[in-house]
Chain A
Amino acid sequence: MNKTWLVAKREFLSRVQKKTFLLTTILLPLVIFGFYALIIYFTVKSTDDFKVAVVDNANIFGGKIPSKGDISFIFLKDESTENLKVRVAKKEFDGYVIVGNQFNAAANDSLVFVSGKTVGMMTRSDIQKRINNALENQRLLSSLNISKKTLDSLQRGNEIVFSTLEGKAEDDSKASASLIVGYISGFLIYIILFIYGTMVMRGVMEEKTTRIAEVIISSVKPFQLMMGKITGIGAVGLVQFLIWICLTLFLRVLLPLIIPGMAEVTQPGAAQALETAKSSGAFSQVMSSLGGLNIGLIVGCFVFYFLSGYLLYSSLFAAVGSVVNEDPQEAQSLLLPITMPIIFSIVIMQSAVNNPTGGLAVFGSLFPLTSPIVMMARIPFGVPGTVPYWQLILSMALLVGGFLSTTWLSAKIYRVGILMYGKKVSWKEMSKWAFRKS
């Protein structure tokens, strides 16, 4: 046990002390966040104040296009085109629209917008939307004599509330919050299995190719070496995740302070146009119903499925690492049977988040090779609502049984493989090693 601890310590320290660890752990998320921040900054920044002159000869708008945010409208009458051009050149305003005397809103006549410089996409669609809204209002008023407000209330559908048998009203936003959390947790576990699994495999291959394996095996049991490696790398994974979580929280707090515009983007308020307000309202509803999920249970299960799933797969990765020689191609073909169930899990997960009580989802969340990903995608939908306790307990028990047996089998392959040089090992031989007595 003591020796396993020594091995784990070395595996952990040798990875954590590497410059690449710092680089991937701290710089990578920073770079990604910085990149996003930059994009957001520029989208916010690019809508400079934009002044539009509307020469409303037909008096269609009646001066009623709202000047909101960065775009403002001024209304003129009977200006000549030359005069307008001069005023644009003088930067009194950035562009103009002439609404001719014969303009008929009901006939969908087109308007021409003239500007000094090319207008950005965002600004362009914004101007278009506001003018069209005003026109629509005008058309409704002139032909039906009702306001847009009345029409909107006529068109609005009645709300249908979805409720479970227990009588708890389930609003949409909670279902979508569960879906998002489920999806993210499942996907995180998928990534963890791959990143740290291959890290274990490469570590084992390194020991084999540098020929240190036998030196170490003469003082440590192969099982201790393998478990030490798995534990050490697992700890690296946990630390890396902790750092990422801290960084995310830190940046969430810090980012709006650095870029004031961010606040508007992340917490859209009344200032936004109608559509964005609608969707972002749903967004903030989702955000608030995240609090309604059982976060403690989800985090607890996440840690359990993360660790057990990692233990299950990493020992398999270690076994593969131990049988390959220097040739990475060989590893590729041997890895296929291990990566297949992981990829299957992702496929099952897609259907599980949409139908968390379906047969495939239940099977996937019980079967140990897929349960870390699939079960994690189902849990946010509610325990014991969607996932009954018996399923959760059975899934956990099967997973523990699963990782104990893969570790046991892998250790036997590892023990032989690590001392084997130069020979390409077939599946038949590997299974012979795994199931041999003693």
Chain B
Amino acid sequence: MASILELHHLQKFYATQKAVSDISFNIEQGSIFGLLGPNGAGKTTLLRMITGIFYPDNGHIMFDGKRFDPVNDIIKIGYMPEERGLYKKMKIGEQALYLAQLKGLSKAEAMEKITFWFKRLEMESWWNKKVEDLSKGMSQKLQFVITVLHEPKLIILDEPFSGLDPVNANLIKDEIYGLAQRGCTIIFSTHRMEQVEEICDHIVLVNLGAKILDGTVGDIKQQFKENQFSIKLHGITAPSNSQAFNILDQKANAFTVKINEGFSSNDVLQHFIQQGIVVESFNEILPSLNDIFIGIVEGTKSVTRAFQPVTD
């Protein structure tokens, strides 16, 4: 599939530090892309370069097959920054209209789209309310509508679910899926790993201004698996060791085993089957993104611990 966004060796320096040093990756059209990283990793700077707020000091961005041109491409991008807000004293309808016109929509187009989205998310009665009268969740919803209103090709959401209750979070999540199905590409930036695991196809992890991980969620999990399996045996409380695996942990008849190098999961099963032990369940334990994230981020701080297993 074609890439909607290609970053080529982007660099951005602030007076004293490197905010982004040489980051490159591609984002496929129609995918939900996760941009992860701890605080201060350079995510916001990266997003600001993608949205044309900052110019990169080095490198370039290709947007939709062409060199990124902030002035004309801005209408194809919807950005919901982490530091977001609305004019408190302005009526919601007028505000949505104003912000849509600022994106470059005509007044008629903007009205039509606002009516559509307000109806869709049951916000029609809000038109004449002021933002200061809305709850935090409601204004988040409004902010989301304002971001996607002009049907951008690329939607960038920085911590979109903060402040939302589960019901509204699900509503927004469904909208995000819907937009992706209709061909929108979504960049999703967050620290909340369970959301990333649930939503994103592809992720990039940045830390200290550099890219550390790049791949699909499945691939990354495979890459970081530690050959650990959970096995549940019928009626057995103390299985014998074999050269194929080590037992790491035991809870009643459930065991966590680590398969040694050169052996496969079949060797483990064979070991028990030969002994006539009934295997009730057998699962591979994949690390959660959270574990991977924490492991890597902590690892990059001290070089000696880089990419070491973090189970102990």
Is A211 part of the contact surface with B, judged by Cβ < 8 Å?
A: yes
Q: Contact between A215 and B74 (Cβ–Cβ < 8 Å)?
A: no
Asked if residues A214 and B88 are in contact (CB atoms below 8 Å), the reply is no
With known contacts A215-B81, A218-B53, A219-B74, A210–B87 Cβ distance under 8 A? yes
Which residues 394-438 of A have a CB within 8 angstroms of B?
419, 421, 429, 432, 438
Chain B 131-148 near chain A by CB (<8 Å), digits 1 or 0: 000000000000100100
Given A217-B53, A438-B55, are A210 and B88 neighbors across the interface (CB < 8 Å)? yes
Set of chain B residues within 8 Å of A432, measured between Cβ atoms = 15
Most A Cβ at <10 Å: residue of B15, B52, B74, B81:
B81
B53 A215 Cβ-Cβ under 8 A: no
Taking CB atoms, residues of chain B closer than 8 Å to A216 are 99, 102
A210 nearest in chain B by CB position: B85
User: How near does chain B come to A428, taking the closest CB pair, in angstroms?
Assistant: 10
Instruction: Kindly specify which of A3-11, A116-124, A252-260 makes contact with the partner chain.
Output: A3-11
Q: Kindly list chain B residues whose C-beta atoms are within 8 Å of the C-beta of A6.
A: 98, 101-102
A419 contact set on B, CB distance < 8 A: 48, 53
Tell whether B301 is near chain A: CB-to-CB under 8 Å. no
Residue-wise, chain B 71-111 has the 8 Å CB interface mask toward A (1 for contact) of 10011010111011111111000000011011110000000
A214-226 contact mask (Cβ, 8 Å, vs B): 1 or 0: 1111111100000
Across the interface, name the chain B residue whose C-beta is closest to A214. Answer: B81
Interface presence of A272 (CB below 8 A): no
Give the shortest distance, in Å, between A7 (CB) and chain B (any CB): 7
**B104 and A219 form a contact (CB under 8 A):** yes
Interface residue count for A (Cβ, 8 Å)? 23
Does A111 lie at the interface of the complex (its beta carbon under 8 Å from any beta carbon of B)? no
Alpha-carbon distance A226/B203, docked complex (angstroms):
37
Does chain A have a CB within 8 A of B51?
Answer: yes
Chain A residue nearest to B15 in the complex (CB)? A432
- State A162–B112 Cα separation when bound (angstroms): 73
Chain B contributes a number of interface residues (CB within 8 A of A) equal to 29
B98 touches A215 (CB 8 A): no
- CB-contacts of A228-286 with B (<8 A): none
> Which A residues lie within 8 Å of B48 (CB)?
419
Contact residues in A for B52 (Cβ distance below 8 Å): 218
Chain B positions within 8 Å of A421 at CB level = 83
Which residues of chain B are within 8 angstroms of A429 by Cβ–Cβ distance? 15
Bound: A317/B26 CA distance, A: 42
A206: B residues at CB distance < 8 A: 87
CB-contact partner of B98 in A10, A210, A218, A438, under 8 A: A10
State A92–B147 Cα separation when bound (angstroms): 87
B79 to chain A: which residues have CB within 8 Å?
A: 215, 218
A220's partner among B55, B88, B102 (CB-CB below 8 A) is B102
* Residues of chain B lying within 8 A (CB to CB) of residue A213: 83
* Given A14-B90, A419-B53, A432-B15, residue A215 in contact with residue B85 (CB < 8 A): yes
List, in ascending order, chain A residues with CB within 8 A of B143's CB. 215
- When the two chains form their complex, are residues B55 and A218 in contact, meaning their CB atoms are under 8 A apart? no
Decide: A214 near B99, CB < 8 A? Known: A219-B104, A432-B15, A438-B55.
Answer: no
The reply to whether B85 and A212 contact each other, CB–CB distance below 8 Å, is yes
B52, B88, B99: which has the most chain A beta carbons within 10 Å? B99
Contact of B51 among A7, A14, A218 (CB under 8 A): A218
CA distance A289 to B143 in the complex (A): 61
The A-contacting residues of B in range 49-83, CB under 8 angstroms, are: 51-53, 55, 71, 74-75, 77, 79-81, 83
Cβ-defined contact, B53 with A214, below 8 A? yes
A405 CA / B121 CA spacing, docked (Å): 47
**Roughly how many angstroms separate A419 CA and B51 CA in the complex, as a whole number?**
14
A231 to chain B, nearest CB (A): 15
A216 to B147, CA, bound (A): 11
- Name the distance in Å between B163's Cβ and chain A's nearest Cβ: 13
**A301 → chain B closest CB, angstroms:** 36
Q: How far is the CA of A434 from the CA of B19 in the complex (A)?
A: 20
Q: Which residue of B lies closest to A225 (CB)?
A: B102
Q: Is the CB of A214 within 8 A of B103?
A: no
B121 to chain A, nearest CB (A): 18
Chain A minimum-CB-distance residue to B77: A218
25 A-B residue contacts at CB 8 Å? Answer: A3-B102, A7-B102, A10-B98, A14-B87, A14-B89, A210-B85, A210-B86, A212-B84, A212-B85, A214-B83, A214-B84, A215-B79, A215-B84, A215-B143, A215-B146, A217-B53, A218-B53, A218-B81, A219-B74, A219-B99, A219-B102, A219-B104, A429-B15, A432-B15, A438-B55
State the A residues within 8 Å of B (CB). 3, 6-7, 10, 14, 206, 210-221, 419, 421, 429, 432, 438
A6-B98, A419-B53 provided; 16 other pairs, C-beta below 8 A?
Answer: A211-B83, A213-B83, A214-B83, A214-B84, A215-B79, A215-B80, A215-B146, A216-B102, A217-B53, A218-B53, A218-B77, A219-B103, A220-B102, A419-B48, A421-B83, A438-B55
